[in-house]
Amino acid sequence: MRRITLFAIILISGFIISVNVFGETIAQVTHWELQAVNANGEGIYEETDKVIITGIVLNNPEEMLVPTPATGYMGGQWQIYVQGEDGDHAGTAVYLGQYYSKVGGQSGSYTDEQLLSELCRINHDPNTGYTFAAGDRIKVTGWYKFYKGKLNVNEIHEADPDFDFEMELLEPAVGLPRPEVISLDMVKDSNDGFLFDQTRMTGCEYYQGQLVRVDDVNIIDANNWAPDATVTISDGSGRTFPVKLGIGDGFTRYDCPTGQIDVIGIFDQESSGTTICKDGYRLWVTDYDGNGLVLTDRGHERGNLPGDINTDYKVDLTDFAELAANWLEQRAGLYDCE
Amino acid sequence: MRKAFTLIELLVVISIIGLLLGILVPCLSRAKELAKVTVVNAELRQIGLALDMYFENNKKYPPTEADCISGKLTDHLYQLPRALVESHYLTRMSEEEAMSTNLEDRFNHGHTYKYRCAGEIIVDRNRISTSIAASLWIPNHFPSRSSIDPEQGRWYPDIDERKRYSGDYSSYFPRSPVSWVVFSLGPKFSEEWLEEKIGIESRYPVPKELWYTPKQRRGFIVRMRLKQEYQIGSFDE
């Protein structure tokens, strides 16, 4: 009996040690918990190796970063924002890149083929094959890493499959959350500095990672208008705010809206870097539908006319021109999973 | 009696001065570069001593720093370990400075020399990772032979060893033929040059093919500790 007890103790101890040594800790967390910061704006969550988060997808990935392999310094990149629900007042970016080795990744980079395969995997629900889009409710499981003011769910810059994140559809097309209306004096002080609150109950941190709406502002540097560029909005009281433009084709197709407009975008942060983590807030508008009044994309509307490709409420030769100009173009990897 | 030079005389003198400058300027710039390389080698030696002292006290080398916030190689990626500063082996910069120490790479202003080891790594918020190990690519039979061919070397630790990693690298860390390497980007460094040599993978800077030589006037200026206890580097070549 003694021997059996001893053997059992050794076995159980061995099991516990092996879980501690080789296991990864994981927990379901709210976005609010995950995005907690210290006085320097540095993320403080570190209770587990991996996290599970749920929420609403705020953007189509191909309108935020260019996923096509071998483009730009980091190669193809993919990113979505997921916003919390039911009082979880925060949101989290989910990111994947191609050339991790250029920024210190220890298990190399993705080849073009590997990246395409990864894009196909993360862009589709593993159970149904459904293609994720803005407005879906999803669950994300993955590692996380602090980057310039916020914690992203990502592969901690490792191409090894052990560090993959997984996305799962909970409910399709539930719709985008209603954007929270803010004014620039809620996020900027009288000297036009970003308002930072470590408790995240006010200022920029309170809105970070969420869809917000700023009413009655002007774009003061319309000459910067272009895909992937940044323009500045002003409320006329000396407060300004940067608006990062995505890569949706609306920024090419339409002119910069003039006069007083509203802006609906994702409240993002990309601070200046290694030591300062509270100086780089911005709105991210991923596409524009040319409506002239609100800088946002209302969902690729077609004016209820089949064939109205350029959404000018008229089906004519200019629609053919659009069709011809973009014939056979595709965002590689997101939808073609052969 | 003539009081002034003729145009011809002036032109001759100017051309001689131009010719002399044409010969002297490249020589001076070369001499300046060599002087800088000498200073870099002296400073890398100083860092090597600091690393040895750190090892004596901690029985391990400090972690590699590869937090993506530090950016790419021309930014702060692989900058000198803060652990060396916190242990007072190197001088600290102010808290606001991105540079971990005042030992600035003379060929990459505003940034420290670089440090990589086969062992611990910081990839996020100054915390040593318990999931990822820092690795070094080392050519087979190094240092007697060297190559940049991916087939002629291996990572230490390799993929399988990395998969078993759980925060304690001591079991396989001593197997790496190179314990650590400190390096300067050297003159005329560019990401394009490096990519041309080895592609996008980070198989630098151990292979000798990537080292600075006075003849090529380009490449990493390196110093590294071999498993056999002695230090080698581009200063030997």
Q: What pLDDT does A199 receive?
A: 96
Instruction: Examine the domain organization and report whether A42 and A151 are in the same domain.
Output: yes
Query: Could you read off the pLDDT of B83-116 as tens digits, one per residue?
Result: 999 999 998 877 777 888 989 999 999 999 999 9
**pLDDT band at B25, cuts 50/70/90?**
confident
For residue A37, tell me if it sits in a domain: yes
CB contact under 8 A, A148 and B69: yes
Q: What pLDDT does B162 receive?
A: 81
Q: Check if A145 contacts B (Cβ < 8 Å).
A: yes
Instruction: Examine the domain organization and report whether A205 and A154 are in the same domain.
Output: no
Q: In angstroms, rounded to a whole number, what is the distance separating the alpha carbons of residues B39 and B42?
A: 5
- CB contact at 8 A, B170 and A78: no
- Shortest Cα distance, chain A CAs vs residue B32, angstroms: 31
Q: In angstroms, rounded to a whole number, what is the distance separating the alpha carbons of residues A149 and A164?
A: 22
Residue B140: give the domain boundaries.
30-236
For residue A319, tell me if it sits in a domain: no
State the ipTM, two decimals. Answer: 0.86
Q: In angstroms, rounded to a whole number, what is the distance separating the alpha carbons of residues B195 and B204?
A: 11
Q: What pLDDT does B227 receive?
A: 84
User: Which residue from B98, B123, B200 is facing A102, i.e. has the nearest CB?
Assistant: B200
Q: Nearest chain A residue to B78 by CA: give it.
A: A104
Q: What pLDDT does A337 receive?
A: 75
Instruction: Examine the domain organization and report whether A143 and A277 are in the same domain.
Output: no
Residue B146, both tokens: 């060297």
Query: Could you read off the pLDDT of A17-65 as tens digits, one per residue?
Result: 334 444 689 999 999 999 999 998 999 999 999 999 999 999 999 999 9
Q: How many CB atoms lie within 10 A of CB A226?
A: 13
What integer best gives the mean pLDDT of chain A? Answer: 89
Closest to A92 in 3D by CA, of A100, A101, A83, A104: A83
Does the pLDDT of residue A10 top 80, yes or no? no
Q: What pLDDT does B163 receive?
A: 79
Judge if the upstream peptide bond of residue A67 is cis by omega within 30 degrees of 0.
Answer: no
Does the pLDDT of residue B68 top 80, yes or no? no
Q: Check if B136 contacts A (Cβ < 8 Å).
A: no
Residues of chain A contacting residue B163, judged by C-beta atoms under 8 Å apart: 160, 162
CB contact under 8 A, A274 and B66: no
For residue A303, tell me if it sits in a domain: no
Q: What phi, psi does A233 have (nearest 5°)?
A: -105, 150
**pLDDT band at A274, cuts 50/70/90?**
low
- Structurally, chain B folds into a number of domains equal to 1
Q: In angstroms, rounded to a whole number, what is the distance separating the alpha carbons of residues B189 and B220?
A: 8
Q: Check if B78 contacts A (Cβ < 8 Å).
A: yes
User: Which residue from A46, A107, A109 is facing B162, i.e. has the nearest CB?
Assistant: A107
What integer best gives the mean pLDDT of chain B? Answer: 90
Instruction: Examine the domain organization and report whether A151 and A207 are in the same domain.
Output: no
What CATH number is associated with residue A160?
2.40.50.140
Residues of chain B contacting residue A22, judged by C-beta atoms under 8 Å apart: 164, 166
Does the pLDDT of residue B23 top 90, yes or no? no
CB contact under 8 A, A104 and B96: no
Residues of chain B contacting residue A150, judged by C-beta atoms under 8 Å apart: none
CB contact under 8 A, B166 and A21: yes
CB contact under 8 A, B97 and A275: yes
User: How would you classify the pairing of strands A26-28 and B114-117?
Assistant: unpaired
Which residue among A117, A151, A171 closes a domain? A171
**pLDDT band at B16, cuts 50/70/90?**
very high
Instruction: Examine the domain organization and report whether A56 and A159 are in the same domain.
Output: yes
pLDDT > 70: percent of chain A: 89
- Cα three-residue angle A106-A107-A113, rounded to 5 degrees: 140
For residue B225, tell me if it sits in a domain: yes
Mean pLDDT of A188-193: 96
Instruction: Examine the domain organization and report whether A262 and A208 are in the same domain.
Output: yes
Q: What pLDDT does A246 receive?
A: 96
Q: Check if B53 contacts A (Cβ < 8 Å).
A: no
Mean pLDDT of B132-153: 94
For residue B1, tell me if it sits in a domain: no
**pLDDT band at B33, cuts 50/70/90?**
very high
CB contact under 8 A, A103 and B124: no
Q: Nearest chain B residue to A148 by CA: give it.
A: B69
For residue B9, tell me if it sits in a domain: no
User: Which residue from A106, A109, A148 is facing B134, i.e. has the nearest CB?
Assistant: A106
Instruction: Examine the domain organization and report whether A206 and A127 are in the same domain.
Output: no
For residue B21, tell me if it sits in a domain: no
For residue B11, tell me if it sits in a domain: no
Instruction: Examine the domain organization and report whether A32 and A161 are in the same domain.
Output: yes
Q: Nearest chain A residue to B125 by CA: give it.
A: A146
Instruction: Examine the domain organization and report whether A147 and A211 are in the same domain.
Output: no
Instruction: Examine the domain organization and report whether A166 and A29 are in the same domain.
Output: yes
Mean pLDDT of A203-216: 97
User: Which residue from A102, A109, A145 is facing B124, i.e. has the nearest CB?
Assistant: A145
Q: What pLDDT does B158 receive?
A: 87
Q: What pLDDT does B5 receive?
A: 83
For residue A306, tell me if it sits in a domain: no
**pLDDT band at B53, cuts 50/70/90?**
very high
Q: In angstroms, rounded to a whole number, what is the distance separating the alpha carbons of residues B173 and A264?
A: 52
- CB contact at 8 A, A193 and A244: no
For residue B148, tell me if it sits in a domain: yes
Q: What pLDDT does A21 receive?
A: 41
Does the pLDDT of residue B187 top 70, yes or no? yes
Instruction: Examine the domain organization and report whether A52 and A149 are in the same domain.
Output: yes
- Distance spanning both ends of chain A, measured CA to CA: 60
Does the pLDDT of residue B117 top 50, yes or no? yes
Q: Nearest chain A residue to B156 by CA: give it.
A: A106
Q: In angstroms, rounded to a whole number, what is the distance separating the alpha carbons of residues A133 and B185?
A: 44
Does the pLDDT of residue A162 top 70, yes or no? yes
For residue A11, tell me if it sits in a domain: no
For residue B8, tell me if it sits in a domain: no
Does the pLDDT of residue A1 top 60, yes or no? no
Instruction: Examine the domain organization and report whether A70 and A133 are in the same domain.
Output: yes
Give per-residue burial for A203-223: e unless 16+ CB within 10 Å, then b.
Answer: bbbbbbbbbbbbeebbbeeee
Which residue among A153, A171, A189 closes a domain? A171
Q: In angstroms, rounded to a whole number, what is the distance separating the alpha carbons of residues A134 and A60?
A: 5
Mean pLDDT of A286-290: 94
Mean pLDDT of A302-328: 82
Q: In angstroms, rounded to a whole number, what is the distance separating the alpha carbons of residues B59 and B119?
A: 12
Does the pLDDT of residue A328 top 90, yes or no? no
Judge if the upstream peptide bond of residue B143 is cis by omega within 30 degrees of 0.
Answer: yes
For residue A210, tell me if it sits in a domain: yes
Q: What pLDDT does B26 receive?
A: 82
Residue A226: give the domain boundaries.
180-295
Q: Check if B8 contacts A (Cβ < 8 Å).
A: no
Does the pLDDT of residue A12 top 60, yes or no? no
- Structurally, chain A folds into a number of domains equal to 2
CB contact under 8 A, B163 and A160: yes
Which residue among A125, A143, A171 closes a domain? A171
Q: What is the dihedral of CA B195, B197, B203, B205, to 10 degrees?
A: -110
Does the pLDDT of residue B43 top 50, yes or no? yes
Q: Which of A33-42, A302-311, A324-333 has the highest mean pLDDT?
A: A33-42
Q: Check if B66 contacts A (Cβ < 8 Å).
A: yes
Residues of chain A contacting residue B82, judged by C-beta atoms under 8 Å apart: none
- Shortest Cα distance, chain A CAs vs residue B63, angstroms: 13
**pLDDT band at B70, cuts 50/70/90?**
confident
Does the pLDDT of residue B62 top 80, yes or no? yes
